[in-house]
Structure 1
Amino acid sequence: MEWLREHAWETWLALSIGLGVAEMFSLDFVLLMLAAGAAVGMVAALLGAPVVLQVILASAAAVGALAVVRPSVVRRMHHGPELQVGHDKLVGKQGLVTERITQQEPGRIKLSGEVWTAQPYDDTVVIEPGETVDVLQIRGATAIVHPVPRLDP
């Protein structure tokens, strides 16, 4: 027991490393927070604090990390950004009309560097070449579009 008092910082360091390695197998971030608490205990030992104070500081740091840090880390790790793939990533983008678009005659738009068949969202709208459109939906290989209102002065 005397050896532990004389080599307290090494003991805290070994505990911190051991908990960090164990965290690699659990991936639950509990052991990582305990390892952070052990690191605080190591710093207290290096500063010459009594063993009781080292334990109290290490425990407080571990509990604080579990209560404050861990929830946000877990939330970020398990809830990443939604990835849009395929046609879904084109919805909401703007395209340039290359052929006249009516409900009776689908036209063409240039969208993300590709030429797409397009139909208007509204039955009564006629969209002329050169106009900009918003893509509201993709049905098969046809983009359902709506013209972007012009802001003429």
Structure 2
Amino acid sequence: MAAWLLWLIGAGVLAVGEMLTLDLVLLMLAGGALGAMSVALLGGATWLQLITFIIVSGALLVLVRPIAAKHLTNRTPLQLDGVDTLIGQTAKVTQDVDSSGGRIRLGADEWTARTQHSGESFPAGTTVRILEVEGATAVVGDALE
């Protein structure tokens, strides 16, 4: 089998491995394998192909990978999920809420709730803001805050 074809297969295997790890290391090694494949296509000796692989892979790891990783992490927004999406939303009090408990309606769901401070209380019909969620209980405060 031709040397260039082995380098191409190696680059493909490394690229597939990168899809499994998502660390950008194997992708840089795949780039080195493509560099070595180019030398093989030009008729370079095996030792020259290996040196090319090492140099190109090293250069990609040192120069390109940090920049690519920085762009990937900076462009990925922090995504809220689960109960964190409820924080900041407003709800209607359905049963008086104080520091010991109460009930609120958020959309079609009814939640147990309590106030953040012991002296606070909200009568039924009041609009409150969800400040945090502790288990199945929403901690609420004044909606005007």
The answer to whether TM tops 0.5 is yes
Where in structure 2 are the equivalents of 1:3-22 lying within 5 Å? Answer: 7-17=2-12, 20=14
Q: Please, which of 126, 133, 143 is the counterpart of residue 121 of structure 2? A: 126
5+ long unaligned stretches in structure 2: none
Rounded Cα–Cα distance in structure 2 between residues aligned with 1:35 and 1:23: 10
Q: Secondary structure at the match of 1:123?
A: coil
What is the TM-score normalised by the length of structure 1? Answer: 0.56
Contact kept, 8 Å, 1:12 with 1:39, in 2: the verdict is yes
5+ long unaligned stretches in structure 1: none
Rounded Cα–Cα distance in structure 2 between residues aligned with 1:90 and 1:12: 48
Higher strand proportion, which one? 2
Measured on the aligned residues, the alpha-carbon RMSD in Å equals 4.3
State the shift of 1:94 in Å.
Answer: 2.0
Contact kept, 8 Å, 1:101 with 1:119, in 2: the verdict is no
After superposition, the C-alpha distances for 1:42-100 in whole angstroms (9 at most, x for unaligned) are 13444x37446644432222113334528949xx7xxxx89865xx5466242312325
User: Which residue in 2 is equivalent to 1:110?
Assistant: 105
Q: Please, which of 32, 46, 49 is the counterpart of residue 37 of structure 1? A: 32
Contact kept, 8 Å, 1:92 with 1:134, in 2: the verdict is yes
Rounded Cα–Cα distance in structure 2 between residues aligned with 1:22 and 1:111: 45
After superposition, the C-alpha distances for 1:98-139 in whole angstroms (9 at most, x for unaligned) are 325343774321235310122221233232424131232425
- Larger Rg over CA atoms: 1
State the shift of 1:37 in Å.
Answer: 0.9
Structure 1 stretches (4+) deviating beyond 6 angstroms? none
What is the TM-score normalised by the length of structure 2? Answer: 0.58
Structure-2 change in CA distance of 1:90 and 1:138 (3 Å): farther
Rounded Cα–Cα distance in structure 1 between residues aligned with 2:69 and 2:144: 42
Percent identity reads: 26
Contact kept, 8 Å, 1:97 with 1:109, in 2: the verdict is yes
Where in structure 2 are the equivalents of 1:1-150 lying within 5 Å? Answer: 7-17=2-12, 20=14, 23=17, 33-46=28-41, 48=42, 50-51=44-45, 54-67=49-62, 68-69=64-65, 72=69, 88-89=83-84, 92-99=87-94, 101-103=96-98, 106-111=101-106, 113-128=108-123, 129-138=125-134, 141-149=136-144
Paired residues, what number?
Answer: 134
Amino acid paired to 2:129? V
